[in-house]
Structure formats: C-alpha cells, structure tokens
A and B are shown apart, each in its own frame.
Chain A
Amino acid sequence: MRNVFTICGKELKSYFTSPIAYLLMALFGLIFGYFFFSATVFFVNAGMRQQLGGQSQPMSINEYVISPLLGNASVVGLFLIPLISMRLFAEEKRTGTIELLMTSPISDWEIILGKWLGAMSMYLCILAVSAINVALLFAWGRPDWRPILTGFLGLILQGGTVLAIGTFISTTTKNQIIAGAATFSVCLLLWVLSWVSSYNDAPWAQAVAYCSILTHFEPFSKGIIDSKDLVFYISAIFLGLFLTSRSLESLRWRA
C-alpha cells in the first residue's frame, strides 16, 4: 500500500509542477462559474416573475440551480479528464522511466492503482474549485446539502470511470496526444450513447443507452443513490484498471 501512495504522490506532484494542473483548474473554474452564473440569474429572474405573478409556491434551489449545474459539470468533466489521464503511462513510455517502475520491487497493480489514484486526486482538486460557487449558495440561500453530496459522489464516480478508461488508453501508446484524443473520443461516445434511447424504445437501444456514463449520473444529481448506478460505475472502474494491467503485462511480452 505504501508503494501505491508513493506513486500517487509523485503523480499528483508532477501535475502541480507543470502548468497543466493550474490550467485545468482555471478552465473548470471559468466554465463552472459561467454555468453557475447563468443558472442563478435564471433562478432569480424566475423567482421574481413568480412573485410578481402572485404565486407563492417556493422554488427549489436544488432543482433549478444545483441539479443542472452538476449535470453541466459532469459534461465538462468528460472534456477535461482526457487531459489528466493522457500522460499517465504514455509519458513514462516515451521517456523510458517505465523501466524504472517495472524493474522496482513493486507489482503492476501497485503502479496502476497509484497512477489512477494520483489522477483521481488531481480530478478532486479540479472539482474542489466548484466549492467556491457552492459555498456562495449556502451563504445566501438555504439549499439542501444532501443532493449536493450525492451529486459530487456521482461526479467522482463518473470521473473515476473515465480516468480508468483513460489510464488504459494511455498504456497503449507513447504519444500523449494520441492517448488524449482517443480518450476524448471514447468519452464523447460514452456520452452520446444515451441519446439513442430518446428516439428508440427497442431493447437494444435501452441496452446501448445503459452503457452511457451520463445515464447513470442523472440520479446522483437528483439526490438518488441507486445501487445499479453504483455497480455500473464501480465495475466500469474495475474493468478499466483490469484492462490497464493486461496492457501493462502485454507490454512486457511484446516489448
């Protein structure tokens, strides 16, 4: 376990010694901030209109601001995550440092877990930027904190899934750009898979839509933790990391 943390720490540090960490955090802060701004403006306007119209039914800040905001954050995540995962193995293969890792007395699984956890920590740092906006909601409103927590849990699980896939793709090439582009394409595909079910009710379309990572995120953003979504994400993470370990093993045999 110590080896896992050693590698995890090294990965996280290397994000922060290059501009990539700050760039990603700034980008996410900017985009999330924009979505936050438009969602709250919409909420405030709609609330005022309601009051002027004489309706006194209270509007839920969770439903009108936080839920769509988290949904947007999950899509933004799909675009940013390939930039986190692309370097994990591709760079080590290009510079030859993979030889150091693979000839050190540690198992492949420790390398993979360490790298994935390092990337996860980076992703958590990015998500943490949005805490500023959420704190503002708490400062001037009374949102329910439980759906927010489940929403972030969903974001973490979804991020973990995409990172696991990205880690696997990163082991297949020496070129970071290729790893990044391929991960991005897969992310995009996993996102749009859910669209199938909107125009087709056939069982196969349901099955395809089930594979979309966004389908499983929606319940989380509404405050629902469904065991089927948990199982989906956790098994997808495991699959991604398992493929990574196979790929690393094959690297030894093919090299």
Chain B
Amino acid sequence: MIKVEGLTKRYARHVAVKNISFEVGQGEIVGFLGKNGAGKTTTMRVLTCFLPPTAGKASVAGFDVLDQSIEVKKRIGYLPETPPLYPEMEIATYLTFVAKLKGIPAGEVQKRVDEACERTAIADVKNTIIGKLSKGYRQRVGLAQAIIHNPPVLILDEPTSGLDPEQQREARQLIASLSGDHTIILSTHILSEVEQSCSKVIIINNGEIVASDTVSNLHNRRRATESVHIQVAGAPASQVKQRLEQVPGVASVESRDSSDTLVSFEVHSMENYAVRPELARAIVQAGWNLTELRPVGESLEEIFLELTKSETAAPKEKEEEAVAQ
C-alpha cells in the first residue's frame, strides 16, 4: 500500500531523513517510533505530499507522491501533529468544509460528516465552536477530519500527544477500531502505545531506520539470554539462592533488596535457555511462596533506547523548527 525507496529529505542546513526504505502492506498498523527530531514528521509529510522528497521515491496505493500527488492525496487521511482546525468554526461547519475539499459529492457531504462525528464520538458537541473545545476533543475533530472521506491510508502524527491518560486510552481504542478498513501509519514516542496498537514497528533515529519489524520479533531479538526477577515469601535468602542456582540453564543469581518476609533475586540465564518455568517449579516444589516472577530488560523501551542511543552526542537541530516558515 505504501512503498518508500531510498527517501532522502534535506533542509537548508541539515538532512532530516537519510535514504530510508520501507513498505507497508494493506490493513497494517505501523508504528513510527523515534525521538523528537528523528525524522518522523518529515517522512509523513513526504507521504502526504506536503513536502517533496529531495531524493528517492515514495508511493501510496501505486501513485507517486511527486508526479501523481492529487491521486495520492485522495487516498490519504492525515492528522498533523497539531490538528489543522479553524478555531472560529463550529465542528459541523468545519467538517463540511473538509468534506468538500476532499472531493465528497455534494449529496453525500452531510452523511459523511455525521458518520465521522459518530465514529469519533463528537456527535453530541458538533455545534460547538472549535476554539472552545478541550485538547482531547480537538484531537478527535482532527481525527474526524482525517477519516471523513474514508481513505484507504491514514497517517497520524502523534495522535495521542498532549492528551491525558484517559483520553490517550480512548484515542488508542478509536485508532484500533479504524484498523480494519484502513492502513495506518502513526508516529509516537510513547512505546506502550506501539505495543498495544501496532502490528509493525519502524524505529527511526537521526533520519535513519534502525529497526523495522513486528513487535514480537523485536522482543525475541533480544531474548537469546533472559533475565528474570523473582520474589519469594517465607524463606531464608541463602537457601533460595542456592536452590535457584541449581536450576539448569541459570548462569548467575544476584540478590536484590530483601525485607524480613520477602526475598528478591535477579536471575540471568545462559544463552538459548528459557528458565522461567523451571524457576517457578523449583520454588514451588521447595514449598516456598512465589510472589513475583517477571522478565527484566525486554521491554520495547529498552530495545528502543538500545537502538537509538548511538550518535546522540552531535547536537541536532529540531526538525519542527525548520518546518513551514
């Protein structure tokens, strides 16, 4: 559905995106992950035909963003980082305007506006002036604007930024509910969001793709050795440690802070051993109470930090500053 080949975007003084390539299939939800200024927004702006690429090709549904931009734009719904809203308009007026811009036939405009309001749960406030809406509602109006012409591709730039946790959850549910019919690219720096809603992750750093894979593959990538946090109640620390060290595949056991009743350890496995079931069995068979057993150091967050920690010494210009002067 979306194909990017060797895409480079150079601003006057710095290169925002360097020779990136990726593909997104129909119906996929792809998370675009990266720090501020990594090149997420730039890539999205190229895909939406807002910016032309300096080099390389990008196409949406088989249409080139440079040569067939009108066709591309018809097939894309775009929510920029700040929703493009006219504060003096009412929601319904605004959506009607957008619907007409997107080329919806006059007879269908009203129906589509109602539909978009329904799907983004703003139907009850649709006669409110946009300037008076809260941030969460503005984001929803922005999303309604993006889906109004029912585009096959949705590009959402940080759809949950600036929302409170409750609103973030709602926004994620909303995006998940859209996933069936649409191919979605969303950018974010919230990692849990990617884990919850995306089928594929593209991690971008300093304008380059450092990883592009499914969430579970990314997890597995670092699972050659395993670290496990264990907490046991009602047992002397030395005995527990001794018992754990006997489990096959365990490389080392480190004591963690313990209280009178609870003792904690971090267990590291040898390569290609899945030690968690064995550890649990060992504790239970010894008659102790296992209160906690969880893998350590495998969150997407750590993978992300690991992948993006290089080359951070050089000062970077913020991408947003160079934009739309």
Contact = CB atoms under 8 A, between A and B. Distances in A.
A98 B82 CA distance: 11
Interface stretch (A10-18, A63-71, A130-138): A10-18
B31 to A, nearest CB: 21
The secondary-structure label for the interface of chain A is helix
Interface bin, chain B: 20 to 34
A255 B101 contact: no
Contact of A14 (B52, B74, B86): B86
Contacts of A106: 70, 101
A252 B88 contact: no
Interface stretch (B43-51, B171-179, B210-218, B253-261): B43-51
B267 interface: no
Interface stretch (A46-54, A89-97, A213-221): A89-97
A171 to B, nearest CB: 11
Interface in B89-143: 89, 93, 97-98, 100-103
B52 A253 contact: yes
Nearest to B54: A253
Given A17-B89, A255-B324, A99 B78 contact: yes
Nearest to A6: B100
A17 B324 CA distance: 27
A228 interface: no
Interface in A224-255: 251-255
Interface string B305-318: 00000000000000
A103 to B, nearest CB: 4
B51 A252 contact: yes
Contact of B84 (A13, A100, A105, A253): A100
Contacts of A252: 50-52
B324 A93 contact: yes
A106 to B, nearest CB: 6
A165 B80 CA distance: 30
A17 B88 contact: yes
A58 B84 CA distance: 62
A142 interface: no
Interface in A1-48: 2-3, 6-7, 10, 13-14, 17-18
Contact of B101 (A3, A174, A251): A3
B70 A100 contact: no
A207 interface: no
Given A97-B85, A174-B325, A107 B101 contact: no
A7 B45 CA distance: 22
B97 A10 contact: yes
Contact of B70 (A14, A99, A101, A105): A105
B162 to A, nearest CB: 14
A100 B52 contact: no
A56 interface: no
Given A99-B78, A99-B80, A103-B50, A255 B325 contact: yes
B88 A18 contact: yes
Interface in B37-96: 45, 48-52, 70-71, 73-74, 76, 78, 80, 82, 84-89, 93
Contacts of A95: 82, 84-87
30 contacts: A2-B100, A3-B101, A6-B101, A7-B101, A14-B86, A95-B86, A95-B87, A96-B82, A97-B85, A98-B84, A98-B324, A99-B50, A99-B78, A99-B84, A99-B324, A100-B101, A103-B49, A104-B98, A104-B102, A105-B70, A105-B103, A106-B70, A106-B101, A107-B70, A174-B324, A251-B324, A252-B51, A252-B52, A254-B12, A254-B325
Given A6-B97, A14-B89, A255-B51, 7 more contacts: A95-B85, A95-B86, A99-B45, A102-B50, A105-B70, A252-B50, A254-B325
